[in-house]
Structure 1
Amino acid sequence: MQSSQPYDVCLILEGTYPFVSGGVSTWVHNLIRALPDIRFCAVSIFPSKKETRELKYDLPENFHLAQIVYIHEYDLGPAGTASRRQQRQHVAAIADFHHRIKGGDFSQFEKIVTLFQHPEKSGLAVHNLIHGKKAWSFLVEQYGPEDNTVSFIDYFWTFRFTHLPVFKLLGAPIPRARVYHTISTGFAGMLAAMAKHVHQRPMLLTEHGIYTKERKIEIAQAEWIYVAGGERVRVKKDVNAFQQLWINMFESLGRMTYQMADRIFTLYSGNRKLEISEGADPEKIEIIPNGIDIARFSTLKPAIFDEAEKSKTRFKVGFVGRVVAIKDVKTFLRACKIVALQMPSVQFFILGPTDEDPQYYQECKELVKLLRLGDGVIFSGRINVMEYYPKLDLLVLTSVSEAQPLVILEANCAGIPVVASDVGSCRELIEGRTRNDRMIGPSGIVTPVADPVGTAGGIIRILSDPKTREQMALAGRERVRRYYQERDLNRKYDAIYKQYMSKEEI
C-alpha cells in the first residue's frame, strides 16, 4: 500500500518485524491488525542483506514496508563537493556534538541531521569524515593519546565500526508520516529522532526490553569485539576499553531517544525504573502492559483437570522461543538432564526458530549429545504454537533478559503452568503485581537466572503434584482474564495515535 499522502504512523523497527519472529514482532503484527483504520508504514533496520530473511508474517492491508536500511553496508563514495572551509566546519560540528553528548547535551543533533539529510547543500560526504587530515585529527583527539594506553590501531577500527552505521542512518531517507513510533532506543531510536526533526512530527517510544541493557549483555559476550589478550570465557562485570566504546554509543543513543520522545510507553514498573536511571523523564513514561486475545488461547485446554489428567505420569515440557544466547537455552538443557534423572517419562520440546544464530544452535545440539539426552529433547524449529499448547503440561523460560514475555501470557491463558527465570516482569506475571493480583495465587515458579538446578526443581515440583499443577493452571487463566486482555492495549494505542496524529506541526 503506497500513497503520496503521509502515512498515519511510521514504525521504526530494528531487527524485528516482519523478517524475524518473536515477542516484539508478534506485538507489532497484532497491533497493526487490530487497528485497521490506521495506515501504517515501517522502516526496518538490519545489519546487512544477508540478515534479512523471508517474511515471517502475512502483511496486513493497512501496512506498507517503506524501507529497509542495512547499516553495515555502506559505500564511502568519493569526496564531497564541500570546500576546505566547509569540511573543517563539518568535522568541527561533529566534534562539538561528541563533546556535548558526553554531558547529556543533544541539542546539536538537529544540525548534524541537516548536514547528512541535505548533502547537495552542505557538500558533505562520509568519505571526508573517514579520510583526510581533518578526519584524522578528529580521531586522534577522540583517542586522547596523552592519557590512552590502549592500542591506537584497535581504537581506529572500533571507531569506524561504531560510527559508520550511524553515518549510514543519518543519510537515510525517511517516509512522511503523522506520527513516528519506535519500538526501541538504539539505532531505531536515533532514526525516529531524525524523523521528528526532518518532518516536524511527534515521536513515540515503546520499550519492551530495555535496549541498552540487552546490548550490554551482548557486548559483554561478543567475540567480534577486540579483546586484549584474546581471553573470552564468560560474561564479566568489567568490560574492556573497546567494549566500552560500543556501550557508550548505545547509552548515548538511549538517552537521546528518551529526550527526543514526546511520550514513552513501557510494559511494567521495573522497565520504568531502568528508563529513569538512564535519563528518561518520569513524566513522559506510561505503563501499558502487554495483552493477548484470551478467546484464542483459553479454549486450547480444559479448564478443570479430569481424573486422567490428575493421574498422568508422562509429561511434555516446552521451551517456546528463539534458539539464541539471550534465551539461555543451555540452562534449559542442563535442567532437562536433572529432571530426566528423576522423571524419565518427561519429553522436552524446544519450540522456536533455530536459524537466527546457527552457531549457538549447533552448540545446543552438541550439549544435548554431551548430556546424553538423546530423543528426550526435540528441536521443532519454527512452529504454530496453537498446535503445541494443547499438548504441553508445562512451559519453561530461562532467558537472561526479558521484558513482558508474551509466551507466559499465552501459557497462562491456555492453563499451562510456567517455570521462568527472574527477569523482566516474569515474577509479576506468575505471582501477581498488586495485592489483589497476588491473591489469585501463583501460576508457576520463578527461579534465579542461569540456574539449571533451580529450574529443574521447579519443573519436578509442579509435575509431581497434580493439585499444584491444577491450581497454577486456574490461577494463570484468571490473572490473564482480569489484567492482560489485548483489547485494552489496542484501545489505548488507538487513542494515543489519534491524539498525536491530530497535532499541528511541532
Structure 2
Amino acid sequence: MRICLIAEGCYPYVAGGVSTWVQQLIQGMPEHTFVICTIGAEQSQRGRFKYELPKNVERVEENFLDEYLDAKVRKPKRLSLEPSEKRAVLDLITTSHPDWDTLFDLFSSTGRCRANEFLASEDFLDVVMEAGEGAFRMAPFNQVFWTVRSMLLPVLNLLRCPVPDVDVFHAVSTGYAGLLGALFQRQTGRPLIITEHGIYGREREEEILRAKWVDVYFKKTWIDFFLGMAAAGYDHASVIVSLFHHARDLQIEYGARPDRCRVIPNGIRLARFEGIGALPLERGGLTLGAVIRAVPIKDLKTMINAFALVRARRPDATLYLIGPTDEDPEYYQECLELMANLGLEGIEFTGRVDVAQWYGRLDLVLLSSISEGQPLSVLEAMASRRAVLTTDVGSCRELIEGAGDGFGPAGEVVPVMSPGPMAEAIVRLGSDRPLLRQMGESGHARVSALYREEDLLATYRGLYGEVSETWRA
C-alpha cells in the first residue's frame, strides 16, 4: 500500500514527540511505501532533515508557506466570480465554516484561479470591501485589506499542491496539513485519516489570544480562520484519531462527527528501557531531569523558577534539561539569562543525547508544558521505572493517575505555569524515595499494559487496511 503522510511544522525538520511518532510509524511498517508531504514555515528549512529517512520513504514533497510571498504577478483581467464562489471567499475571512469544496474547485491546480493573481484582482477587492462594510466595519480598511491578504496568501497557494498517487492520505494534524489532506480527498475520493496529537484548533486559539502580533480587533478573525481549516479536515476525513478520551471530546466539540472519532494512544518500544532498574533507595542527592525541546510551549522558565525554589531547600538537587536547544535560539538564550539572573547553580542543558541513557540516572522526571497531547517523554519515563511530575495538560493526568486501571499513581500533576506548587511537589516527593520508587513501578506496569509500540502499529496497520478496503468497495 502507498500512504501519503502530511506533516506540518514537524517531521522531518524538527526533533520532538510528533516527529518521533511519524518515524516510528514508517519504520514499523516496512511493507508499506510512504510519500511524505511536508508543510514548513520557511524555505531555509528545505532539505535540512533531523531524521534519517527510512528505506520505505519513496520521496519527500516539501512545501513552505513563505515561498509565495515574493511571487511576481501580472494584474489579472476581471475573474467574474460566481455568487457561490464569492460567498465562499467571504465566508473564509469572516466565519469558521466556509464552503471548502467550492474553494478547492476554484483554487486547486485544476481550478481557474491562481492565488496571487486573485489577490491582485478587483474581485478580491470587492470581497474585502464587502467584508469591510459588514464584519470589519469598525476597523480601518487598509488594515482589513492587509490582514485578510496575509491570511489568504499561503493557504490559497497551498491548494495548488499536486496530488500524490497513493492509496491513503494521513494528516498528522488538522490546520494546513488537514486542509491539504481534505483537498487531496476531494480531488481523488481516496480516504483521509487525521491523527491529532494536540487539538490544533484549540492550540491556535490559545496562541492567538496571547499573541502580541495580532491586533485585538482581528483575534477572532484569525481564530475563526484556523477553526475553519480544522473543520475542512474533520469534514473530509474517514477516521479522526485522538490519543486520549478527553481529546476526542474536544474534537467533537469543535465539529468532528462522533462516529468518525477513535482513540489510539501512543506506544513505545519497551525493550529500549528494559535495562533500567527500579529507583535505588540508597542513592544520595536529588537528581531531576526533563526530556524537552527548548521552545516556549514547554515553558522551561516555570521549571527553572521552580528549581530555584527547590535549591533553596535542597542544595543537593540537580536538574538536567535533556534535548535539543537549536529550534528556538532566542528562547534558549532567554532561559540562560533567567538562570544567570537567578544565580542558579546545579542546572545543565545537555543538548541532543540518547535519552534512554539518561532516565536511569534520574530520581524524578519533570514536564512543565503549557500544552501537550500524549507526551512520549512521560511514557518513556514510566517505562524506565521513574516517577513523573507534570503540569495538568493533555493526557498527562490520565497517564499519571490512570483511568480506573488499578495500577496506582505514577507521579503527580500540578497546575500550569505555577513554579510554587511544582517546587513544593518536587521537595515533598524527593524526600520520600520509597514513594518515588513505588510510583515508578506503578508507571512501568501501566505503560507495559496499555502503551506498547506493537499495539500502536497493529492498530494503524488495521486502520489503513480498513479505510482502503472501504474505498475500493
Normalized against structure 1, the TM-score is what?
0.88
- Given that 2:85 and 2:106 are in contact with CA atoms closer than 8 Å, whether structure 1 keeps it comes out as no
Q: Is 1:379 paired with 2:349?
A: yes
> What is the distance in 2 between the residues matched to 1:201 and 1:146?
37
Per-residue CA deviation, residues 429-458 of structure 1 (Å, 9 max, x unaligned), is 01111x2x2x32111111011111111112
Q: How far off its partner does 1:500 sit?
A: 2.1
Q: Is 1:43 paired with 2:37?
A: yes
> What is the distance in 2 between the residues matched to 1:245 and 1:262?
28
Q: How far off its partner does 1:400 sit?
A: 0.7
| Letter aligned with residue 427 of structure 2 | I
Q: Is 1:95 paired with 2:87?
A: yes
Cα–Cα, structure 1 residues 99 and 450, in superposed 2: closer, same or farther, change >3 Å? same
- Which residue number in structure 2 is paired with residue 271 of structure 1? 247
The within-5 A match list for 1:12-411 is 12-52=6-46, 54-74=48-68, 75-79=70-74, 84=78, 87-89=79-81, 93-99=85-91, 108-118=99-109, 122=112, 124-144=113-133, 148-225=137-214, 227=215, 240-299=216-275, 301-303=276-278, 305=279, 309-374=280-345, 376-411=346-381
| Letter aligned with residue 64 of structure 2 | Y
> What is the distance in 1 between the residues matched to 2:47 and 2:342?
32
Residue aligned with 2:409, SS: coil
- Given that 1:210 and 1:275 are in contact with CA atoms closer than 8 Å, whether structure 2 keeps it comes out as yes
> What is the distance in 2 between the residues matched to 1:91 and 1:61?
49
Give me the identity figure in percent.
37
> What is the distance in 2 between the residues matched to 1:128 and 1:173?
19
> What is the distance in 2 between the residues matched to 1:288 and 1:498?
16
Residues paired across the two proteins, number: 472
Cα–Cα, structure 1 residues 186 and 146, in superposed 2: closer, same or farther, change >3 Å? closer
- Which residue number in structure 2 is paired with residue 493 of structure 1? 460
| Letter aligned with residue 161 of structure 1 | S
Per-residue CA deviation, residues 274-327 of structure 1 (Å, 9 max, x unaligned), is 11110111111111111111111132x213x5xxx3232223211111111111
Cα–Cα, structure 1 residues 50 and 220, in superposed 2: closer, same or farther, change >3 Å? farther
> What is the distance in 2 between the residues matched to 1:103 and 1:163?
14
Per-residue CA deviation, residues 125-176 of structure 1 (Å, 9 max, x unaligned), is 3343222332212111122268622233222221111110111111111211
Residue aligned with 1:502, SS: helix
Per-residue CA deviation, residues 226-250 of structure 1 (Å, 9 max, x unaligned), is x3xxxxxxxxxxxx12222211110
Cα–Cα, structure 1 residues 340 and 53, in superposed 2: closer, same or farther, change >3 Å? farther
Cα–Cα, structure 1 residues 100 and 470, in superposed 2: closer, same or farther, change >3 Å? closer
Q: How far off its partner does 1:401 sit?
A: 0.7
Cα–Cα, structure 1 residues 262 and 31, in superposed 2: closer, same or farther, change >3 Å? same
Q: How far off its partner does 1:180 sit?
A: 0.3
Cα–Cα, structure 1 residues 504 and 262, in superposed 2: closer, same or farther, change >3 Å? closer
Q: How far off its partner does 1:91 sit?
A: 8.3
Cα–Cα, structure 1 residues 146 and 65, in superposed 2: closer, same or farther, change >3 Å? closer
- Given that 1:318 and 1:351 are in contact with CA atoms closer than 8 Å, whether structure 2 keeps it comes out as yes
Cα–Cα, structure 1 residues 146 and 431, in superposed 2: closer, same or farther, change >3 Å? closer
Residue aligned with 1:224, SS: coil
Residue aligned with 1:60, SS: coil
- Given that 1:76 and 1:126 are in contact with CA atoms closer than 8 Å, whether structure 2 keeps it comes out as no
Which is worse superposed, 71-80 or 407-416? 71-80
Q: How far off its partner does 1:18 sit?
A: 1.0
| Letter aligned with residue 476 of structure 1 | G
Runs of at least 4 residues of structure 1 off by over 6 A? 100-104
| Letter aligned with residue 400 of structure 1 | I
Cα–Cα, structure 1 residues 484 and 256, in superposed 2: closer, same or farther, change >3 Å? same
> What is the distance in 2 between the residues matched to 1:221 and 1:381?
29
> What is the distance in 1 between the residues matched to 2:92 and 2:158?
20
Per-residue CA deviation, residues 206-259 of structure 1 (Å, 9 max, x unaligned), is 11100111112222333333x3xxxxxxxxxxxx12222211110111122111
Cα–Cα, structure 1 residues 113 and 163, in superposed 2: closer, same or farther, change >3 Å? same
